[in-house]
Structure 1
Amino acid sequence: MINEIILNQGVKLVDVHSTNDLNDTDRAILIEKYALTNEILDYADDENERARFEYDEITDTYLMVYNVQNENNKIADISQRVLPISFAIKDEQLFLFTNDATHYLKDYLLAAKDHLKPEAQKEIWEFIFNTLDQISSDYSDQISETDVQRNHIQALIKKHHSSERQILDLADLEDLTTYLNTAINGNLTVIKQLELISTGNVKSLHLNKAAREHLHDSLIEIEQIKNQVDLTSDIIDRISNTYNNILNNRTNTTMKVLTIYTIVLSIPTIVSGFYGMNMKLPVADQGWSWIFSLIVTIVIILVILWDLHRRDSL
């Protein structure tokens, strides 16, 4: 579905919303009416497309693929928590390509009017940069939520209340931070590339001073988000390693206790086995021989326990 929305007198938003893939009707309209190329539409329609920024000199069209979060941040499939959306800029027209999970980006563009000064609204890139700031803010919120979940798991580990559920939750956090890290790194590359081009020799990209400053601020913001997700990912990895060490230590302690019990419990069997043999043994014919066997058993057990304690094995 294609909708045209006037952002201001000089900038028009073309909202291209697809449930899944771009259908043939919308593709034909975008090619015939708006003169977009099949190559650009293929990039914009690819749900696995990596973050990128490209410029088509022939059609004078910019394309930016950017990673954003799924509107449903509780979706079970963690690989779908981060999805690509696309911006295309041609002839003062801003094309936004989204699906059902990312269509909320349209609201960010519409809300830019409330955040941008009147003179800034004349610059089409200002709407994009403001949207990128909102996307970065979403990532920051997600990372903060991840930190809360990580702190909860860490508290359970310290209280020795850990379970298989915490192991699975910790694994999910590791997967999530991996996807977030990859997405944010891709977005950072796009912003750096855009800043490089805006100050380079591509004369068709004109950014005024305010827009360049806004772009630089967006770059600083996403660098801070990258540092934040790197720190979160590193802490989760350390907690995971610590958790594994705790589980290994618990296993070793359990095996150690079982081994000591096995040794201690085998002694009465050995002593009673000797006195159960059909052969002459010391004091075997005395009425108090069973007491003697108990004393021998206790003495041997105490000697073994003393030896284990001497070797720091208890």
Structure 2
Amino acid sequence: MIIKQSLPGQYDFKYKWYDIYNLDDHDIRILKSKFHLTSEIISYINDLHERPHFDHDYITNSDLFVYDVPIWPTEDADHFTTLPIKFLMVSGTLFTVHTPDTTYMIEDFRQKTDETIHSEKELVFAILFSVTKYFQRALSQLNSERIVLDSHLSGRIKNKDLQALAQVEKSLVFLSSSIRTNLMMLETVKNKKSGLHMNASEEEMCDDIIIEVQQSSQMVKIYNEVTEEISKTSNNILNNNLNNTMQFLTVWSLLLTIPTIVTGFFGMNVKLPILNSTADWILITIGTILVMLVLLWYLKKHDMM
């Protein structure tokens, strides 16, 4: 679907902006016939797995930005993921290409922005600045979930808490990777050799985005380290609990082996040369208990329990 967009309250909108999502064959034909986009460019903007990067085509004099944005957990995925948003500038026209999952980001930007946009480059940087904020929202939500899990894991560890912690770790991996590649893309744009010519205002907007992404990068690094430590601590606690359980079972299996041996020996259906009295079972029981107590004392003395 191709929708012509504009910013509310800005009547001096001198450039064209088209928002595209759910790109189908009919839209592709329009992009080729009306906007004269090549099949190569269309394949780039239609690729859901395109990694963040910037590309300037000197032949068509077009600029392509690919920028990852966070996707909140759904029924299909219990953790945060990321998807790319593409910005194509060609012949004074801006195309924003994304999936329906990220449409709300564009709509939020349209409704909430109150700054005056003078060029398509400024519009790109304004949208990038807006969607970059979603990374900080996602990281704040993950941090809140981590704090709750940390309090749960401080007590009795449950499988559901460990599974939730694993989802937090997966989310941080996705966000960390996207933040890192987004930052690389922005640094490429800032490079004078990129082919993108920016004025002072556009360079300032680009610097603001880089600062925000760097802050997100520091946040995700800290959260990763804290989450890894919580995971390690939880694993150590589980291993220690398992060791205590195995130690308890081993000690009691040793202690219970003694009466098993004794009763098996005296339970043989043969005549024994000793202990022929009817009260001999009392002596056997006392002797068995004494041997068990001696074994228990030996285990404690050598820190085996």
1:79 CA displacement: 7.7
Amino acid at match of 1:149: E
Q: Give the RMSD, CA atoms, in angstroms.
A: 2.0
1:61 CA displacement: 0.7
Q: Percent identity?
A: 31
Please, which moves more after superposition, 285-294 or 74-83? 74-83
Q: Are 1:63 and 1:89, in contact at CA under 8 Å, matched by a contact in 2?
A: yes
Q: TM-score, normalised by structure 2?
A: 0.91
| 1:288 aligned to which of 279, 286, 293 | 279
1:75 CA displacement: 4.1
Alignment of 1:196-207 (within 5 A): 196=191, 199-200=192-193, 202=195, 205-207=196-198
In the alignment, which residue of structure 1 is the partner of 2:130? 134
> For the residues of structure 1 that align with 2:80 and 2:63, how far apart are their CA atoms?
26
Amino acid at match of 2:133: S
SS of the counterpart of 1:313? coil
Q: Are 1:10 and 1:92, in contact at CA under 8 Å, matched by a contact in 2?
A: no
In the alignment, which residue of structure 2 is the partner of 1:51? 52
1:234 CA displacement: 2.4
> For the residues of structure 2 that align with 1:77 and 1:113, how far apart are their CA atoms?
31
Alignment of 1:148-159 (within 5 A): 148-159=144-155
SS of the counterpart of 2:35? coil
SS of the counterpart of 1:159? coil
Amino acid at match of 1:77: A
1:12 to 2:16 alignment: yes
| 1:237 aligned to which of 223, 228, 235 | 228
> For the residues of structure 2 that align with 1:158 and 1:79, how far apart are their CA atoms?
23
> For the residues of structure 2 that align with 1:87 and 1:158, how far apart are their CA atoms?
46
- CA deviations over 1:64-97 (Å, ceiling 9, x no partner): 1111123x53343258831111101123221111
1:4 CA displacement: 1.6
> For the residues of structure 1 that align with 2:173 and 2:104, how far apart are their CA atoms?
24
Alignment of 1:140-179 (within 5 A): 140-160=136-156, 162-179=157-174
SS of the counterpart of 1:225? helix
**1:78/1:90 CA distance change after superposition, 3 Å:** farther
Q: Are 1:65 and 1:84, in contact at CA under 8 Å, matched by a contact in 2?
A: yes
Q: TM-score, normalised by structure 1?
A: 0.88
1:281 CA displacement: 4.8
1:124 to 2:142 alignment: no
Q: Are 1:78 and 1:175, in contact at CA under 8 Å, matched by a contact in 2?
A: no
Gaps of 5+ in 2: none
In the alignment, which residue of structure 1 is the partner of 2:177? 182
Gaps of 5+ in 1: none
Q: Give 4+ residue runs of structure 1 displaced > 6 Å after superposition.
A: none
- CA deviations over 1:31-58 (Å, ceiling 9, x no partner): 2222222211111101111111101111
> Aligned pairs, how many?
300
| 1:224 aligned to which of 200, 204, 215 | 215
